[in-house]
Protein backbone atom coordinates (compact mmCIF):
# COMPACT_ATOMS: atom_id res chain seq x y z
CA UNK A 1 0.00 0.00 0.00
CA UNK A 2 1.40 3.39 -1.02
CA UNK A 3 2.10 6.23 1.42
CA UNK A 4 -0.32 9.15 1.61
CA UNK A 5 2.38 11.51 0.26
CA UNK A 6 5.27 10.35 -1.90
CA UNK A 7 7.98 12.74 -3.08
CA UNK A 8 10.49 11.22 -5.48
CA UNK A 9 13.71 13.04 -6.45
CA UNK A 10 11.99 16.42 -6.48
CA UNK A 11 13.92 19.58 -7.38
CA UNK A 12 13.00 23.24 -7.70
CA UNK A 13 15.35 26.01 -8.79
CA UNK A 14 15.19 29.81 -8.84
CA UNK A 15 17.61 31.60 -11.18
CA UNK A 16 19.84 28.54 -11.23
CA UNK A 17 19.87 28.06 -7.45
CA UNK A 18 18.37 24.73 -6.38
CA UNK A 19 16.19 25.58 -3.39
CA UNK A 20 15.06 21.93 -3.34
CA UNK A 21 17.57 19.46 -4.69
CA UNK A 22 16.65 15.83 -5.34
CA UNK A 23 14.45 15.33 -2.27
CA UNK A 24 12.70 12.00 -1.76
CA UNK A 25 10.29 11.56 1.13
CA UNK A 26 7.28 9.46 2.11
CA UNK A 27 4.65 10.45 4.64
CA UNK A 28 2.33 7.75 5.93
CA UNK A 29 -1.28 8.42 6.91
CA UNK A 30 -1.55 9.36 10.58
CA UNK A 31 1.99 10.70 11.01
CA UNK A 32 3.03 14.06 12.44
CA UNK A 33 6.25 14.79 10.58
CA UNK A 34 8.44 17.62 11.81
CA UNK A 35 10.36 19.38 9.03
CA UNK A 36 13.34 21.37 10.32
CA UNK A 37 16.49 23.01 9.00
CA UNK A 38 18.32 26.36 8.92
CA UNK A 39 16.80 29.41 7.28
CA UNK A 40 17.05 28.98 3.53
CA UNK A 41 17.21 25.19 3.75
CA UNK A 42 14.28 24.79 1.34
CA UNK A 43 11.52 23.81 3.77
CA UNK A 44 8.86 26.29 2.64
CA UNK A 45 9.85 25.76 -0.99
CA UNK A 46 9.23 22.04 -0.55
CA UNK A 47 5.76 22.80 0.85
CA UNK A 48 5.17 25.12 -2.13
CA UNK A 49 6.15 22.29 -4.49
CA UNK A 50 3.79 19.84 -2.77
CA UNK A 51 0.90 22.31 -2.98
CA UNK A 52 1.58 23.36 -6.59
CA UNK A 53 2.61 26.94 -5.86
CA UNK A 54 6.05 26.32 -7.38
CA UNK A 55 5.88 23.15 -9.51
CA UNK A 56 8.86 20.80 -9.42
CA UNK A 57 11.32 21.07 -12.30
CA UNK A 58 12.36 17.45 -11.73
CA UNK A 59 10.85 14.47 -9.96
CA UNK A 60 7.31 13.58 -9.00
CA UNK A 61 4.86 14.26 -6.18
CA UNK A 62 2.07 11.75 -5.52
CA UNK A 63 -0.82 12.18 -3.10
CA UNK A 64 -3.07 9.25 -2.21
CA UNK A 65 -1.64 7.40 -5.20
CA UNK A 66 -2.30 10.20 -7.70
CA UNK A 67 0.41 12.14 -9.52
CA UNK A 68 -0.09 15.80 -8.54
CA UNK A 69 3.25 17.12 -9.82
CA UNK A 70 1.75 19.33 -12.51
CA UNK A 71 -1.60 20.14 -10.93
CA UNK A 72 -2.60 23.69 -10.01
CA UNK A 73 -2.93 24.60 -6.30
CA UNK A 74 -6.74 24.66 -6.41
CA UNK A 75 -6.86 21.12 -7.85
CA UNK A 76 -4.45 19.87 -5.19
CA UNK A 77 -6.50 21.52 -2.45
CA UNK A 78 -9.65 19.82 -3.72
CA UNK A 79 -7.91 16.46 -3.39
CA UNK A 80 -7.39 17.05 0.34
CA UNK A 81 -4.08 18.92 0.74
CA UNK A 82 -4.27 22.09 2.84
CA UNK A 83 -1.63 24.41 4.26
CA UNK A 84 -1.03 27.43 6.43
CA UNK A 85 1.35 30.27 5.62
CA UNK A 86 4.23 31.54 7.72
CA UNK A 87 3.00 35.12 7.36
CA UNK A 88 -0.69 35.10 8.20
CA UNK A 89 -2.80 37.23 5.89
CA UNK A 90 -6.53 36.89 6.57
CA UNK A 91 -9.00 39.03 4.66
CA UNK A 92 -8.86 41.86 7.23
CA UNK A 93 -12.25 43.49 6.65
CA UNK A 94 -14.14 40.19 6.52
CA UNK A 95 -15.29 38.63 9.74
CA UNK A 96 -13.61 35.62 11.27
CA UNK A 97 -16.58 33.49 10.23
CA UNK A 98 -16.45 34.76 6.65
CA UNK A 99 -12.73 34.00 6.43
CA UNK A 100 -13.32 30.41 7.56
CA UNK A 101 -16.40 29.99 5.35
CA UNK A 102 -14.28 30.86 2.32
CA UNK A 103 -12.24 27.69 2.83
CA UNK A 104 -15.41 25.63 3.25
CA UNK A 105 -16.83 27.01 -0.01
CA UNK A 106 -13.59 26.63 -1.93
CA UNK A 107 -12.60 23.07 -1.05
CA UNK A 108 -14.57 21.94 1.99
CA UNK A 109 -17.65 20.61 0.23
CA UNK A 110 -20.07 23.32 1.40
CA UNK A 111 -22.97 23.63 -1.04
CA UNK A 112 -23.72 27.26 -0.36
CA UNK A 113 -23.05 30.21 1.92
CA UNK A 114 -25.41 29.07 4.67
CA UNK A 115 -23.77 25.63 4.85
CA UNK A 116 -20.31 27.21 4.70
CA UNK A 117 -21.17 29.43 7.67
CA UNK A 118 -22.40 26.39 9.60
CA UNK A 119 -19.01 24.76 8.98
CA UNK A 120 -17.30 28.01 9.97
CA UNK A 121 -19.10 28.16 13.31
CA UNK A 122 -18.18 24.55 14.12
CA UNK A 123 -14.53 25.10 13.22
CA UNK A 124 -14.36 28.40 15.10
CA UNK A 125 -15.60 26.56 18.19
CA UNK A 126 -12.99 23.85 17.64
CA UNK A 127 -10.06 26.27 17.45
CA UNK A 128 -11.23 28.62 20.19
CA UNK A 129 -12.51 31.48 18.04
CA UNK A 130 -16.25 31.12 18.64
CA UNK A 131 -16.33 34.37 20.62
CA UNK A 132 -14.79 36.26 17.70
CA UNK A 133 -16.73 34.82 14.79
CA UNK A 134 -18.50 38.12 13.98
CA UNK A 135 -15.46 40.32 14.51
CA UNK A 136 -13.33 41.64 11.64
CA UNK A 137 -10.20 39.52 11.26
CA UNK A 138 -8.07 42.67 11.50
CA UNK A 139 -9.00 43.03 15.19
CA UNK A 140 -7.44 39.71 16.24
CA UNK A 141 -4.18 39.36 18.14
CA UNK A 142 -1.30 37.49 16.49
CA UNK A 143 -2.09 34.30 18.40
CA UNK A 144 -5.71 34.41 17.31
CA UNK A 145 -4.78 35.25 13.71
CA UNK A 146 -2.64 32.10 13.79
CA UNK A 147 -5.70 30.17 14.95
CA UNK A 148 -7.73 31.74 12.15
CA UNK A 149 -5.10 30.65 9.62
CA UNK A 150 -5.41 27.12 10.95
CA UNK A 151 -9.21 27.31 10.92
CA UNK A 152 -9.23 28.39 7.27
CA UNK A 153 -7.15 25.33 6.39
CA UNK A 154 -9.35 22.99 8.45
CA UNK A 155 -12.43 24.32 6.66
CA UNK A 156 -11.07 22.70 3.49
CA UNK A 157 -11.49 19.24 5.08
CA UNK A 158 -7.87 18.20 4.53
CA UNK A 159 -6.44 14.71 4.62
CA UNK A 160 -2.94 16.23 4.72
CA UNK A 161 -2.25 19.49 6.57
CA UNK A 162 1.03 21.36 6.05
CA UNK A 163 1.81 23.83 8.85
CA UNK A 164 4.45 26.50 8.24
CA UNK A 165 5.77 28.12 11.44
CA UNK A 166 2.41 28.13 13.23
CA UNK A 167 4.11 28.89 16.57
CA UNK A 168 6.30 31.77 15.43
CA UNK A 169 5.81 34.87 17.58
CA UNK A 170 3.74 33.11 20.26
CA UNK A 171 4.49 33.04 23.98
CA UNK A 172 4.90 29.82 25.97
CA UNK A 173 1.25 29.59 27.00
CA UNK A 174 0.02 30.27 23.47
CA UNK A 175 2.40 27.61 22.12
CA UNK A 176 1.05 25.05 24.58
CA UNK A 177 -2.49 25.81 23.44
CA UNK A 178 -1.47 25.54 19.78
CA UNK A 179 0.23 22.18 20.34
CA UNK A 180 -2.86 20.81 22.09
CA UNK A 181 -4.92 21.88 19.09
CA UNK A 182 -2.50 20.28 16.61
CA UNK A 183 -2.60 17.02 18.56
CA UNK A 184 -6.39 17.03 18.51
CA UNK A 185 -6.36 17.58 14.75
CA UNK A 186 -4.00 14.64 14.30
CA UNK A 187 -6.19 12.47 16.52
CA UNK A 188 -9.15 13.26 14.24
CA UNK A 189 -7.34 11.50 11.38
CA UNK A 190 -5.51 14.34 9.63
CA UNK A 191 -1.89 13.67 8.64
CA UNK A 192 0.37 16.62 9.49
CA UNK A 193 3.71 17.97 8.28
CA UNK A 194 4.91 20.86 10.43
CA UNK A 195 7.77 23.26 9.73
CA UNK A 196 9.13 24.41 13.06
CA UNK A 197 12.24 26.13 14.46
CA UNK A 198 11.58 25.58 18.16
CA UNK A 199 13.23 22.25 18.97
CA UNK A 200 11.31 21.80 22.23
CA UNK A 201 8.10 22.08 20.25
CA UNK A 202 9.05 19.83 17.37
CA UNK A 203 10.40 17.12 19.69
CA UNK A 204 7.23 17.17 21.77
CA UNK A 205 4.83 16.74 18.87
CA UNK A 206 6.53 14.87 16.00
CA UNK A 207 6.35 11.15 15.44
CA UNK A 208 9.17 11.55 12.91
CA UNK A 209 11.72 14.24 12.12
CA UNK A 210 13.04 15.26 8.70
CA UNK A 211 15.94 17.68 8.28
CA UNK A 212 16.81 19.77 5.21
CA UNK A 213 20.03 21.68 4.50
CA UNK A 214 20.97 23.50 1.28
CA UNK A 215 17.88 22.08 -0.39
CA UNK A 216 18.72 18.47 0.40
CA UNK A 217 17.38 15.94 2.86
CA UNK A 218 20.14 15.13 5.35
CA UNK A 219 18.25 13.15 8.02
CA UNK A 220 14.96 11.30 8.44
CA UNK A 221 13.91 9.20 11.41
CA UNK A 222 12.75 9.11 15.04
CA UNK A 223 13.16 12.58 16.60
CA UNK A 224 15.55 11.61 19.41
CA UNK A 225 17.82 9.80 16.94
CA UNK A 226 17.78 12.58 14.35
CA UNK A 227 18.82 15.30 16.82
CA UNK A 228 21.90 13.22 17.70
CA UNK A 229 22.94 12.82 14.08
CA UNK A 230 26.35 14.43 13.43
CA UNK A 231 25.29 16.00 10.12
CA UNK A 232 22.23 17.54 11.75
CA UNK A 233 24.30 18.95 14.60
CA UNK A 234 26.80 20.50 12.22
CA UNK A 235 24.12 21.95 9.93
CA UNK A 236 21.56 23.18 12.39
CA UNK A 237 21.54 22.46 16.10
CA UNK A 238 25.06 23.54 17.03
CA UNK A 239 27.50 22.16 19.60
CA UNK A 240 25.77 23.62 22.67
CA UNK A 241 22.41 22.02 21.88
CA UNK A 242 24.09 18.78 20.86
CA UNK A 243 25.94 18.65 24.17
CA UNK A 244 22.70 19.23 26.07
CA UNK A 245 21.17 16.25 24.32
CA UNK A 246 24.17 14.09 24.98
CA UNK A 247 25.17 13.92 21.33
CA UNK A 248 28.55 12.63 20.34
CA UNK A 249 31.12 15.42 19.78
What digits encode the pLDDT tens for the residues 185-195?
Answer: 999 999 999 99
pLDDT tens for each residue of 51-88: 999 999 999 999 999 999 999 999 999 999 999 998 88
SS3 95: strand
At 83, which helix (H) or strand (E)? strand 81-83
Q: Give the pLDDT of residue 248.
A: 46
Distance CA 192, CA 172 (A): 22
pLDDT (average), residues 21-30: 97
Q: Give the pLDDT of residue 243.
A: 60
pLDDT band at 156 (very low <50, low <70, confident <90, very high): very high
Q: Bin 130: left if φ > 0, else alpha if -120 < ψ < 50, else beta.
A: alpha
Distance CA 177, CA 22 (A): 36
The answer to whether 35 touches 50, Cβ cutoff 8 Å, is no
β 58-63/66-67 pair status: antiparallel
pLDDT tens for each residue of 6-17: 999 999 999 889
The model's pTM: 0.90
Rounded to 5 degrees, what are φ and ψ at 246? Answer: 80, 25
Amino acid sequence: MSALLEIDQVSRAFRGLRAVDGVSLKVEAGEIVGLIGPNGAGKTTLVNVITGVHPAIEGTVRFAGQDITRLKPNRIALLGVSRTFQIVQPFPHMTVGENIAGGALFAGGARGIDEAMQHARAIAERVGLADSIDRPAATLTLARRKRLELAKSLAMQPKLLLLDEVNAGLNASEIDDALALIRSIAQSGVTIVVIEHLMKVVLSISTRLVVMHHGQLIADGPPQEVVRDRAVNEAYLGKRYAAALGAAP
